[in-house]
């Protein structure tokens, strides 16, 4: 599999997880911490996140993910981080007893 395919798949999984309430934006940011975001998101994207938050007056996980979409998450963040989020959600749903470490 190519990196593009893998990236597209993780993006789709993250999108589906959010759409189906498998995990919430807060769950995503629990793994994609500010440190992770700051380390991996490009400057222009960090700028957008900050601008949107400044315009809204607050920075919430939902607003962050409005800017940093699943596609961008899969593009910039380590897939390991995304997978931890997915696996943790599966564990909460009761289908995964061993949360991926």
Among 1, 43, 44, 57, binds other proteins (CB under 8 A): 1
Interaction of residue 32 with other proteins, rule CB under 8 A: no
At closest approach, how far in Å is the CB of 83 from other proteins? Answer: 5
**At closest approach, how far in Å is the CB of 34 from other proteins?**
21
- Is the distance from CB of 67 to CB of 51 less than 8 angstroms? no
For the chain, the residue count is 101
CB atoms under 10 Å from CB of 64, counted, come to: 19
Helix/strand number for the chain, H first, E second: 7, 0
- Distance in Å, CB of 61 to other proteins, minimum: 19
* Three-class secondary structure of residue 19 per DSSP: helix
| In the complex, least distance from residue 89 CB atom to other proteins, rounded to whole angstroms | 8
Segment interacting with other proteins, rule: CB under 8 A, options 36-44, 51-59, 63-71, 88-96 = 88-96
Select the residue interacting with other proteins from 20, 38, 43, 58 (CB under 8 A): 20
Alpha carbon 64 to its chain centroid, in Å, reads 9
């Amino acid at each position: 599999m190519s990196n593009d395919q893998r990236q597209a798949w993780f993006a789709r999984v993250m999108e589906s997880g959010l759409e189906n309430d498998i995990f919430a934006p807060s769950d995503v940011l629990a793994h994609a911490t500010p440190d992770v975001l700051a380390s991996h998101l490009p400057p222009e994207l960090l700028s957008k996140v900050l601008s949107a938050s400044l315009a809204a007056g607050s920075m919430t996980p939902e607003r962050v993910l409005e800017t940093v979409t699943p596609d961008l998450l899969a593009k910039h963040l380590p897939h390991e981080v995304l997978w931890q989020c997915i696996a943790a959600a599966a564990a909460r749903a009761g289908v995964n007893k061993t949360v991926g470490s």
